[in-house]
Structure 1
Amino acid sequence: MNLFTDLRGVVLDALDQMTQAGELPAGLDYANVAVEPPRDPAHGDLATNAAMVLAKPAAMKPRELAEKLAARLTDPRIEKAEIAGPGFLNLRLSPSVWQDIVATAIRAGNDFGRSTFGQGERVNVEFVSANPTGPMHVGHVRGAVFGDALANLLAFSGHDVTREYYINDGGAQVDVLARSAYERYREANGLAPEIREGLYPGDYLIPVGEALREKYGGSLLDRPESDWLDEIRDFATEAMMQVIRADLAALGVRMDVYSSEKALYGTGRIEAAIARLDSLGLIYRGVLEPPKGKLPEDWEAREQLLFRSSAHGDDVDRPIQKSDGAWTYFAPDIAYHWDKIDRGFDQLIDVFGADHGGYVKRMKAAVRALSDGRVPLDIKLVQLVRLYRNGEPFKMSKRAGTFVTLRDVVQEAGADVTRFIMLTRKNDAALDFDFARVLEQSRDNPVWYVQYASARVHSVLRRAAEAGIDVSDDALLSADLTAISHQAELDLARKVAEWPRLVEIAARAHEPHRVAFFLYDIASDLHSLWNRGNDDPSLRFLQDGSAATSQAKIALVRAVGVVISSGLAILGVTPVEEMR
């Protein structure tokens, strides 16, 4: 149940009545009519902008329209409709509305807030897609958590979601991986490795070298590169993918599909995608303008095969084939996205690192052209994570060679803490991760604060059961919820009512961090009510001598627990039942 959507329907019905009565002209567009929480809770429970957005097309003064609308809002849930400012309409609802929300949340359980907003739309979320040249680093952590939480959020809001990892195994970096692994293979055979400049120096390739020795013995030693490059490249790539899959599992991330860039070569799929663009008049041979600013020393104007991406919103056209006939890195990416379109997805989402900002327009242009504008592509850029310990920059990992690994972070902070903290900033804002602060027990640590609220919910239920109070959902639903009557209690129930709306807003905007923010707010409200009970016994959840009143107040706590549990599930975090 989305109370805001429901009462928006009440407002729209009243507007239709006004139209039928000749108080409004026919054909008004209600698309921008909203019902939402007022900025100042003192102004009421809900507010609608209907009079403001419809006054001009209706040729009426906003306050005049608001007065007529208020007179027709006779729904029993609306106790009062007050005109504010130039024509906003503030609505005050009956306490029974918030009491009913408590029952609705308990009855729905973890499905409370789940919606059909997505209408089964098939969405492909491609995220992580790290080069298979080593273990995942801390930058990949944030992209993995963001992509997984976004997929959870979209599924919760009624979308049919596929999580996909694109293995970049078709470029020069996997040849470098093969050469690096070969040096570790030589090392495993008792020879000194030659980790020259340009190779991957991390110790993580030592086990790969040992595995190669077990398979080949010394048969590849002193053989020319042409004899072993392809075989070791495939072997090392698969070994790194096993490491990456294990890293993702440690973070609680699962993929539905792993797609290979290499699989696109030699199959005609790249050629077919380019032919599709050519059939649209978007492929031509030409010479690109030189880069803006200082020319690189090796710049040379060459005729290339170009994609007219500027026809679909890009700043310049993009090369898809080099002058020597080799495909640019953009060509297989075009083919890969065409494959996703061909698989029948209604919407594509790519989660990229911050260094891919220049790639956004060209990729959107390609998808727009390939799908005739039918399939939208949203590219979410994930900014950097800066690691600290007690305010000091965190030192790099020697094992990895050049970076802090995902496994380093998860082993030290834990998967749940890591996931929650990675969602405490919007994806396009930089994030500081201090190992000391994310583990401290204080209100300044959002994950601890929310988990503390979860633990308090379970503590109340345990204590009540120990006192002989029936706290089963059936018993709580049978309780007289009019005992939830204090303004502080109604305010907490009002926060519960906002959850379905928040889910839809976050899903529409592809912003799972909104869930983390909301959980912090509702946890704060619960803690505040708990603390007020220390001074005012009537606000305590367990009322001495009155099991019936206790059940009503415990029902409110249970409803909050439902929201916290569902929200944490979207973030991929396990709610705790007690703090240790």
Structure 2
Amino acid sequence: MSDTQTLYAAFAAKIDAVLSALEKEAVLPPHTPRDNVSVEPPRDPAHGDLATNAAMVLAKQARTNPRALAEKIVEHLASDPMIESAEIAGPGFINLRLAASNWLAELGAIARLDTRYGRSAMGKGKRVNIEYVSANPTGPMHMGHCRGAVVGDALASLLEYAGHQVTREYYVNDAGAQVQTLARSAHLRYREALGEDIGEIPEGLYPGDYLIPVGKVLAQQHGDRFVGAPESEWLELFRTTAVAAMMDMIRADLALLGIEHDVFASEAELQRAGKPEAAEKWLREHDLVFDGVLEAPKGKTLEDWEQVELPLFRSTRFGDDQDRPIRKSDGSWTYFGADLAYHMQKAESADELIDIWGADHAGTVKRIKAAVAALSEGQGKPIPFDVKLVQMVQLLRGGEPVKMSKRSGNFITIADMVEEVGKDVVRFTMLTRKPEAQMDFDFAKVVEASKDNPVFYVQYAHARIHSTMRKAKAENLAPSDADLGLLGEEELALVKHAAQFPREVEQAARAREPHRIAFYLYDLAAAFHAFWNLGNDDPEKRIILTHNAELTGARLFLASQIGQVIRNGLSLLGVEAVEEL
């Protein structure tokens, strides 16, 4: 087994070698496809350590029944000293029990690889661009952005951990009506900074206090030059200044969560570079954009609906319910028109694209994926493109909805959350449910010291291990791998949980689901706590036995490696492993 090969991958290679031997023996035809052969832990641990479906899926090619082929496979496995037993179950599954030496060797591998344990070369350096957050630059980051930010950042770390080259990207929507509204709001605060009583913020402008400093900066830079000036003289200048200030605020808010992006791509720059025009030209040449008239909205008649000819993308070819405009009636780009050009820009330097969107964007997924597929295929470089949808989070305090933030004007900011419960609690909690599932974030429960709080439960396991090491040091005892053979079935069961980590990393990376790591860490913590609690009933099962230094050393070594796996997993999620609670 190589330094980075998982125990499970090593045994998958053994099964593969057996199948190759059976091809030489003419039991299987040459070059029999093995894509559907799996080697994984059985659902019920009572059935063994590993199970393979090789006989089930290859029996037809072997022109025999699964049990007969399973017997041939088991004959080869029986002579392997690393396999304690190989048994045929049901119609032809093969269950393997591994020799204890495998698990003790895995403990040694964790110690040897340290922070590298669990890392994988699976990605083979594939370049993956992950776009996440991409909030409009009109104010501070709020809870509507938080979950997607954490999911995207954890996914980026996960894919890097699994051997991909990852670009973390933020798309700055700095063109269009919303940033013009931002500029007008900043102009109001600019007049306020010069002493004008602006009264109530007018409907349609951004009311948050966060624009007060922007107004003051503008007043210092320009004096009263733009107080009564026509909008055409100051709108672009105020837009640029306000967007820059908002992006500084957004970057600072994201930093509170430990999130940094590699690229901030500007929509305004994209349009100045003519990227949407280039995309439209290609789509027209391939009959994917045409000039047409949209159907009247439901409830509208020809009398109250003005028919305007617009350039339309043929999204109905890809399952959409109607073709979609890429330009508005005034010639400016629709969000969809600019977005498809932006995705083509990303594809120029990536092998795969992943977007993290809010669930409210579900309706646009099919059409943007269709447009990107068409453009990338037409340019001779089909790009896999996936969109992960993230549901909103409901904020509670003791089961009651949380009141809004004064700082923002109408929402709870990420800064508010991190200040109250801490970065690690926010990040881990956001990964304790699948992103497509609804989530409640209760400020009281996420800091609760109980088994029902996954953040505490995992952190407590790590802190408990460190506490044990401190106590052992006080007794002049230390972890040692000299007598690992003294470890029994209960200790080996814990090793088996830890040995799942590299496999979990690869599976989570393939599925693009970082929450799997949070689930795994909770299960590993539960296994450690259960092992610890054995000593409450039987003092001889405690980790520290002052009268047995050899067994204590082995158990401390085991606990130390469990701690290492927890640290590696938490680090992957961007969460610090605390040493005491």
Q: Same fold (TM over 0.5)?
A: yes
Supply the distance in 1 between the matched residues of 2:321 and 2:49 (Cα, whole angstroms): 47
3-state DSSP class of the match of 2:326? strand
The residue that corresponds to 1:207 in the other structure is 213
Alpha-carbon shift at residue 288 of structure 1 (Å):
3.1
Amino acid at match of 2:572: I
Question: In the alignment, does 2:159 pair up with 1:151?
Answer: no
Question: In the alignment, does 2:8 pair up with 1:10?
Answer: no
The residue that corresponds to 1:91 in the other structure is 96
The residue that corresponds to 1:465 in the other structure is 473
**Aligned counterparts, 1:253-272, within 5 A:** 253-272=259-278
Supply the distance in 1 between the matched residues of 2:275 and 2:204 (Cα, whole angstroms): 31
Supply the distance in 1 between the matched residues of 2:161 and 2:342 (Cα, whole angstroms): 27
Is the contact between residue 543 and residue 555 of structure 2 (CA under 8 Å) also seen in structure 1?
yes
Amino acid at match of 2:240: D
- Superposed CA offset, 1:300-333 (max 9, x none): 3322112223445545432112333222111221
**Aligned counterparts, 1:218-233, within 5 A:** 218-233=224-239
- Superposed CA offset, 1:146-201 (max 9, x none): 11100000000000011111100011100000111111112222212252111111
Supply the distance in 2 between the matched residues of 1:81 and 1:299 (Cα, whole angstroms): 73
Amino acid at match of 2:550: A
- Aligned equivalent of 1:417, options 414, 417, 425: 425
Unaligned runs of 5+ in 1: none
Amino acid at match of 2:532: W
Alpha-carbon shift at residue 424 of structure 1 (Å):
0.4
Supply the distance in 2 between the matched residues of 1:266 and 1:61 (Cα, whole angstroms): 66
Farther-moved stretch of structure 1 (11-20 vs 29-38): 11-20
Question: In the alignment, does 2:251 pair up with 1:249?
Answer: no
Farther-moved stretch of structure 1 (264-273 vs 452-461): 264-273
3-state DSSP class of the match of 1:321? coil
Percentage identity across paired residues of the two chains = 55
The residue that corresponds to 2:112 in the other structure is 107
3-state DSSP class of the match of 2:394? strand
Normalising by structure 2, we get a TM-score of 0.95
The residue that corresponds to 2:439 in the other structure is 431
- Aligned equivalent of 1:500, options 491, 499, 502: 502
Aligned-pair Cα RMSD in Å: 1.6
Question: In the alignment, does 2:339 pair up with 1:362?
Answer: no
Supply the distance in 1 between the matched residues of 2:460 and 2:410 (Cα, whole angstroms): 37
- Superposed CA offset, 1:453-496 (max 9, x none): 1101211222222222244xxxx34x2211122x2211110011
The residue that corresponds to 2:279 in the other structure is 273
Change (3 A) 1:161 1:234: same
- Superposed CA offset, 1:391-416 (max 9, x none): 11111113212211111111111100
**Aligned counterparts, 1:58-73, within 5 A:** 58-73=62-77
Farther-moved stretch of structure 1 (427-436 vs 328-337): 328-337
Number of residue-to-residue matches in the alignment: 571
Farther-moved stretch of structure 1 (201-210 vs 540-549): 540-549
Amino acid at match of 1:483: L
3-state DSSP class of the match of 2:128? strand
Supply the distance in 2 between the matched residues of 1:98 and 1:565 (Cα, whole angstroms): 20
Normalising by structure 1, we get a TM-score of 0.95
Unaligned runs of 5+ in 2: none
Supply the distance in 2 between the matched residues of 1:147 and 1:50 (Cα, whole angstroms): 36
Supply the distance in 1 between the matched residues of 2:334 and 2:266 (Cα, whole angstroms): 16
Is the contact between residue 451 and residue 575 of structure 1 (CA under 8 Å) also seen in structure 2?
yes
Is the contact between residue 352 and residue 382 of structure 1 (CA under 8 Å) also seen in structure 2?
yes
Is the contact between residue 368 and residue 374 of structure 1 (CA under 8 Å) also seen in structure 2?
yes
- Superposed CA offset, 1:323-355 (max 9, x none): 332221112212211111112x00111111111
Change (3 A) 1:222 1:531: same
The residue that corresponds to 2:326 in the other structure is 320
**Aligned counterparts, 1:321-336, within 5 A:** 321-336=327-342
- Aligned equivalent of 1:450, options 458, 462, 486: 458
- Aligned equivalent of 1:183, options 169, 188, 196: 188
Farther-moved stretch of structure 1 (363-372 vs 445-454): 363-372
The residue that corresponds to 1:192 in the other structure is 197
Supply the distance in 2 between the matched residues of 1:29 and 1:288 (Cα, whole angstroms): 50
Supply the distance in 1 between the matched residues of 2:541 and 2:176 (Cα, whole angstroms): 64
Supply the distance in 2 between the matched residues of 1:495 and 1:294 (Cα, whole angstroms): 59
The residue that corresponds to 2:400 in the other structure is 392
Farther-moved stretch of structure 1 (130-139 vs 295-304): 295-304
The residue that corresponds to 1:52 in the other structure is 56
Supply the distance in 2 between the matched residues of 1:294 and 1:562 (Cα, whole angstroms): 62
- Superposed CA offset, 1:404-452 (max 9, x none): 1111111111100000000001111111000000001000000000000
Change (3 A) 1:290 1:539: farther
3-state DSSP class of the match of 2:189? helix
Is the contact between residue 10 and residue 75 of structure 1 (CA under 8 Å) also seen in structure 2?
no
Change (3 A) 1:43 1:294: farther
3-state DSSP class of the match of 1:387? strand
- Superposed CA offset, 1:78-116 (max 9, x none): 111111122111111111111111111111001101010
Amino acid at match of 1:116: A
| Greater RCO, CA 8 A, separation 6+ | 1
Amino acid at match of 1:301: Q
The residue that corresponds to 1:304 in the other structure is 310
The residue that corresponds to 1:21 in the other structure is 25
Question: In the alignment, does 2:385 pair up with 1:377?
Answer: yes
- Aligned equivalent of 1:341, options 341, 347, 356: 347
Farther-moved stretch of structure 1 (506-515 vs 362-371): 362-371
Is the contact between residue 367 and residue 376 of structure 1 (CA under 8 Å) also seen in structure 2?
no
Amino acid at match of 2:46: A
The residue that corresponds to 1:480 in the other structure is 483
Supply the distance in 2 between the matched residues of 1:12 and 1:315 (Cα, whole angstroms): 47
Supply the distance in 2 between the matched residues of 1:513 and 1:127 (Cα, whole angstroms): 16
- Aligned equivalent of 2:410, options 382, 398, 402: 402
- Superposed CA offset, 1:207-247 (max 9, x none): 21122222222222122211211111111111111110100
Amino acid at match of 1:145: V
Is the contact between residue 312 and residue 368 of structure 1 (CA under 8 Å) also seen in structure 2?
no
Supply the distance in 2 between the matched residues of 1:453 and 1:445 (Cα, whole angstroms): 13
- Aligned equivalent of 1:512, options 511, 514, 528: 514
Alpha-carbon shift at residue 57 of structure 1 (Å):
3.3
